A and B are shown apart, each in its own frame.
Chain A
Amino acid sequence: MALLTVKELSLGYEHRVIAEGINFEVNSGDYLYIVGANGSGKTTLMKTLLGLKKPLGGQIITGDGFKLNEIGYLPQQTEVQKDFPASVREIVLSGCQGHCGLRPFYTKREKALAESNMERMGISNLARRCYRELSGGQQQRVLLARALCAARKVLLLDEPVSGLDPLVTEQMYKLIKELNEEGVTIIMISHDLNAAQKYGSSVIQIGDAL
């Protein structure tokens, strides 16, 4: 049984359908690329997978005891975050919030998880630094570490290399590939077809051909 099966999904806003007839499966250990031009509905698809938006039609079925809120997610940066005073450790730790329920504080185990994910992303030395003063690549590592705190099995990445220079982009792709080899299922949203063919284990395209 696949972790995630998407059947005849159609996406859009109240009166306007952006994309329809989307079908795909995600199995454990996959590196799935979802590619499409700007405006083809990639981000809407992502929001639907994350349960932030309701689909217009179709189904998203989960299997293997997997739940939709167990997807770790690497969003595109928002305006608010650009001047947010927060240390790297605070941000990574906030990834654990989903497990907390009503419990007000983080447990030792969650703190250790945050530490180990910072280690994994090579940002332990930045733990006390302020997020907004980091470089683009470092910020993405922080958000990746946070996503790993939220979920260890499936990560959904939305254009993780946009705005990064070629060298850092290459490092980022490598890092994600390593995570995939460690057994993390990756769903990557991108408009970079070359990278998709190079790294992805499968590629689906939504909207018109690129």
Chain B
Amino acid sequence: MMDKLFLYLEFPFVRYALIVGVLIALCSSLLGVTLVLKRFSFIGDGLSHVAFGAMSIAAVVNLTDDMLLVLPVTVVCAVLLLQSGKNTNIKGDAAIAMISVGALAFGYLLMNIFSTSSNLTGDVCSTLFGSTSILTLTQSEVYVCIALSVIVVIVFVLFYNKIFAVTFDEDFARATGTQADVYNLLIAIVIAVIIVLAMNLVGSLLISALVIFPALSAMRIFRSFRSVTICSAVLSVVCALAGMIVSILAGTPVGSTIVAADVLMFGLCWCAGLIRGGVIA
């Protein structure tokens, strides 16, 4: 078994997949706590469908680098969605549902009408569930992933205290002179970047799991913002690594294996939380 693993590790694309997978898992878990607490758990889902729609457009117009289209479109939608929390015409969750199913439908429609590929169902399936795309990354895609992940982590660390203040009590932060709108915008942009990155790993249907499960698991056990954040990052990386290794060895789909590991971990943490009663700071 170990021999098989080491054999696979000889291949550069497997090593790339592991590196990128770990980085993506790390990034996606960081903002999970904030999104869960701001009641935005589903934003990941909505945005990933938007990214799916944008990806279909990129495929239809034959863009060589679809990041160029997908990333800006997703960022714009993220900003719009987070702003809509304050807009009373359409409430936050309805706006997310609207945009997400709309984008999903249009994406599939476009792919169907203009498709040049012979295996349309396979294409759609791999975009939705990320079946193998993590293993087929080109070297330049790997570099882009690494660069974006590093930026996300740096931004998160630098703005950690501000993100905490804005998440815990937005009105207070605003009233005492913190530029809450700017930081909300920042959160929106970062989450959009994470979504686009994570599409490579788990596909667009399963991204929410990558964002919220580690945070929810960590919240079962720990009681302070910092320990929850660190714990969710660790859990996320561990689950992603375990999921990827299992999927390489057993030949299961990467995305769903990782998410299954996350679900399992949540179950464990939930039990652990019940047993310990949770008085750890």
Contacts and interface: CB of A to CB of B under 8 A. Distances in A.
Contact of B165 (A85, A94, A129): A94
B162 A97 contact: yes
A47 B172 CA distance: 10
A86 to B, nearest CB: 5
Contact of A73 (B33, B39, B176, B228): B176
A125 B203 CA distance: 47
A93 B176 CA distance: 13
Contacts of B172: 73, 75, 95, 146-147, 150
Contacts of B15: none
Interface string A128-162: 11100100000000000011001100000000000
A151 B172 CA distance: 12
Interface string B214-241: 0000010011111010000000000000
A17 interface: no
Given A97-B162, A98-B178, A128-B281, A52 B171 contact: yes
Contacts of A150: 172, 176
B230 to A, nearest CB: 12
Interface in A18-54: 47, 50-52
Given A86-B225, A130-B281, A151-B176, A94 B219 contact: no
A201 to B, nearest CB: 23
B173 A81 contact: no
Interface in B160-200: 160-162, 164-165, 167-169, 171-178
B224 to A, nearest CB: 4
B7 interface: no
Nearest to B281: A128
Interface of A is mostly: mixed
B159 interface: yes
A90 interface: yes
Contacts of B279: 133
A85 B158 contact: no
A13 to B, nearest CB: 10
A109 B94 CA distance: 45
Contact of A85 (B171, B173, B223): B223
B5 interface: no
Which of A80, A94, A104, A105 is the most central at the interface, judged by chain B CB atoms within 10 Å of its CB?
A94
B38 interface: yes
Contacts of B173: 94, 97-98
Nearest to A71: B175
B274 interface: no
11 contacts: A69-B176, A75-B169, A83-B219, A84-B167, A87-B281, A90-B225, A94-B164, A94-B169, A98-B176, A100-B178, A130-B278
Interface of B: 33, 37-39, 157-162, 164-165, 167-169, 171-178, 219, 222-226, 228, 278-279, 281
The 8 nearest A-B residue pairs measured at CB: A130-B223, A98-B176, A87-B224, A98-B177, A50-B175, A69-B177, A128-B281, A150-B176
Interface of A: 47, 50-52, 69, 71-73, 75, 78, 80-81, 83-87, 90-91, 93-95, 97-100, 104-106, 128-130, 133, 146-147, 150-151
